[in-house]
Amino acid sequence: MPGGGRMLVMSELIRLDQDTTATDPQGPQKELSGRSPDDLRNIAATVASEAADHVRGERAFAVGSSGRLDVEDTKSSDVDPVTAIDRSSENLIRIRLHELTDRGAGPDPILGEEDGGALADSGVTWVVDPVDGTVNLVYGIPASAVSIAACVDGVPVAGAVADIFHGTVYSACAGGDVVTRVDGDERVIEGTVQTSLQQLSMALVGTGFSYVSSRRRAQADLLVDLLPEIRDIRRMGSAALDLCAVATGRLDAYYEHGLGPWDYAAGTLIAARSGAVVFMPSLVSGQDEGVGILAAAPGITDELAEKVLAVTLPLSKGHP
C-alpha cells in the first residue's frame, strides 16, 4: 500500500455529480440569505476575474530581468512559496467579498489560504485561494488561477476559477450551467466531459504533489502503480485549473491527496456540473490527513477510484 495510509472508506467522501449538485430548495438554498446559487456564482466570477487582472498586472510590474518573481516567505516547507502578490490578491478579494456580501447584517465569513478564517457552522462561507499555482507564477509558467467558492455545510454551492495568464473565468453553481467568461462575455459550456470514455488505459490523468517530501514519496509510489495503467500523466501545477481541465475535456481525470479546501472548493463543483463524477472530503477536513480527491469522466470513475482513493497519504509526524 503506497505510503502505508489507512484504508479509506468511500462513504467518508462526498460524491458530487450532476444529480447531487442539483438545487435542493430544502437544503443549502435556505442558507443563502435570500440569494440564489446563481447570484453567488456571479459574485465569485466577478471577484475572481478582478483578482486575476490584479495578479497579471502586478506580476508584469514586479518581475525582474530574470523573468522570476521574488518569493517573500515560505509555508509548509522551503519549496512552498508565498509572494507579495498572493497576499495582495487575497486582500483585494476580501475587500470585494465584504462589499458584495454585506446586506446590513454583516458580510459573509471568509476562509482564505493566506489570512486564514474558518468555515461557519451555518450559512455561506467563502473559500479563497488568491493564487493557485504560485510556483508557476514565480517561474512564469502560464498555469495559475484565482479560486473562489461559496460553501455551505462543507460543500461548494457556487464557485469560480479565473485563469490568470489566459483570462478565462470558469464558474458554476448548484443546479446551474457551467459558464466561461472571456472579456465579460459569458458562454455556457456543455458536453465537454468525455462521457464515451470507458477504458482507463486511454485516460489522460492529471495529478499534483505535496510541498512536503514525506507525502511526495507516497504520492510517487502511488504513481508508479498507476502510470502503466493509463494513457499518460500530466502535472500542471494548479489544482483548480486541473479540475477545470476535467470539466472542459482537456483531462479525463484528476486526483491528488492532501489538498487544502481552497485548492478544490470551486473546481470540484465546476467539474461536477460539467458531468464529471467527483469524490472529495468535506471542506472541513484537514490537509494533514492526506485524503484524496478525484474528478473523472463517469466511465472510468469506479476503476480509478479503486486505485487512487483506497488509501490516504497522511503526513508523518515531524515530517521532513
**261 scored as a contact of ligand IPD (CB under 6 A):** no
Query: Quick one: which H or E segment has residue 149?
Result: strand 145-152
Examine residue 83 and tell whether it contacts ligand IPD (CB under 6 A).
Answer: no
What cell does 72 get?
Answer: 517573500
- With CB under 5 to 8 Å by kind, the binding choice for 238 among Ca ion, ligand IPD, none is ligand IPD
DSSP secondary structure letters along 195-209: TT---GGG-EEEE--
Annotated binding residue 232: no
289 is in an annotated binding site: no
Closest-by-Cβ residue to ligand IPD is: 208
Nearest residue (CB) to ligand IPD, 141 versus 284: 141
- How near is the Cβ of 191 to ligand IPD at its closest, in Å? 26
- Gap between the Cα atoms of 145 and 236, Å rounded: 12
- What is the per-residue binding string for Ca ion in 234-263, x denoting contact by CB under 5 A? -----------------------------x
Residue 306, marked binder: no
The pairing of strands 253-257 and 204-207 is parallel
238 binds ligand IPD (CB under 6 A): yes
Q: Per the structure block, which three cell numbers stand in for 26?
A: 430544502
Query: Which residue's C-beta sits nearest to Ca ion?
Result: 132
**Residue from 38, 58, 90, 256 in contact with ligand IPD (CB under 6 A):** 256
Residue 237 engages ligand IPD in binding (rule: CB under 6 A): yes
Q: Which is nearer to ligand IPD, 101 or 238 (CB)?
A: 238
Torsion sign (Cα): 202, 204, 210, 216: positive
**Which are the contacts of 49, defined by CB distance < 8 A and separation ≥ 6?**
160, 162, 169, 181
208 binds, among ligand IPD, Ca ion, none (CB under 5 to 8 A by kind): ligand IPD
Backbone angles phi, psi at 215, to 5 degrees: -70, -35
d(CA 112, CA 54): 17
What cell does 181 get? 467568461
163 binds ligand IPD (CB under 6 A): no
Compute the distance between CA of residue 108 and CA of residue 149 in angstroms, rounded to an integer. Answer: 12
* Residue 114 binds to ligand IPD (criterion: CB under 6 A): no
Using rule CB under 6 A, residue 37 touches ligand IPD? no
**Is there binding between residue 113 and Ca ion (CB under 5 A)?**
yes
- Comparing CB distances to ligand IPD, the nearer of 93 and 174 is 93
β-bridge pairing 178-182 and 204-207:
unpaired
Give yes or no for a contact between 38 and 173, defined as CB atoms under 8 angstroms apart: yes
* Segment (H or E) for 59: helix 37-62
163 belongs to the binding site for Ca ion (CB under 5 A): no
- The reply on whether position 5 binds ligand IPD by CB under 6 A is no
Q: Say how far apart CA 82 and CA 216 lie, in whole Å.
A: 20
Contact 93, 146 (CB under 8 A): yes
**Which amino acids are annotated as binding site, given as ranges?**
113, 129, 132, 263
Positions in the binding site for Ca ion (CB under 5 A): 113, 129, 131-132, 263
**Which amino acids are annotated as binding site for Mg(2+), given as ranges?**
113, 129, 132, 263
Positions in the binding site for ligand IPD (CB under 6 A): 129, 132-134, 208-210, 237-239, 256, 259, 263
